[in-house]
Amino acid sequence: MAYDHHYAVFTSFIALALSACTLTLAMDALQDFCVADLKGSPTINGFACKDPKTVQASDFSFGGLHIPGNTSNAFGSKVTPAFVTQIPGLNTFGISMARVDYARGGINPPHTHPRATEILTVIKGTLEVGFVTSNPDNRLISKVLRKGDVFVFPIGLVHYQRNTGHRNAVAIAALSSQNPGVITVANAVFGSKPDIPTDVLAKAFQVDRSVVQKLQAKF
């Protein structure tokens, strides 16, 4: 729809604004770009650069954000990333985007981005969003967003989204890293490999060990 396209373009400008404060630190000004050579491994600030003579327009483009994500899963949501692995030209720029689709009642479960602040714009539907501040306050800051509303999740803080509307919802997120990373809280705590010792988790959550074992079995 034209309206959705308008907001997607608007969010692109938000993403560019985020990059302005990180670009100087993220990239050597003596070169125009450093398109990622995805055949290698990431270094401190990204992938090694491809030979500029081999760079193509396809290295700077991605055509997937118009495609609805498949929300037929336990969470009822799907994230479609536009990170450096999808757009090699983002390498070293400290910027990326993602589309998030939510079924009715769907959630993007509590998680963190260890390398990025996120700014999220609702394109369709209604979302409850929130993040939790660090110890000792652990304060939940939350709000209900509607189409066109914007919300910021500070870097490293646990945050979530939930579709509280009566239809599917869609959001576009911009992040201040080409490779923001994600740590889903439940997966990290109960699905680590190998498992965190059961007695450690039982004491941390003040529950019986059998409860922890059941949760670990789910992940």
Point out the annotated binding site.
108, 111, 113, 118, 159
Longest dimension (CA), the chain: 61
Assign 152 to helix, strand or coil: strand
Other CB atoms within a 10 A radius of the CB of residue 129 amount to 22
Distance between CA atoms of residues 27 and 50, nearest Å:
15
- Angle, helix 198-205 to helix 209-218, in steps of 10 degrees: 110
Element housing 200 (H / E): helix 198-205
Return d(Cα 160, Cα 153) in angstroms, integer: 9
Distance in angstroms (rounded) separating the CA atoms of residues 138 and 132? 6
Binding-site residues for oxalate, please?
Answer: 108, 113, 118
Q: Would you say 196 and 204 are in contact if contact means Cβ atoms under 8 Å apart?
A: no
CA atoms within 13 A on the CB side of 21: 9
Please state, in angstroms and as integers, the Cα–Cα distance from residue 198 to each residue in 210, 212, 214, following that order. 9, 6, 10
Binding-site positions for Mn(2+) read 111, 113, 118, 159
Neighbours of 29 (CB within 10 A): 7
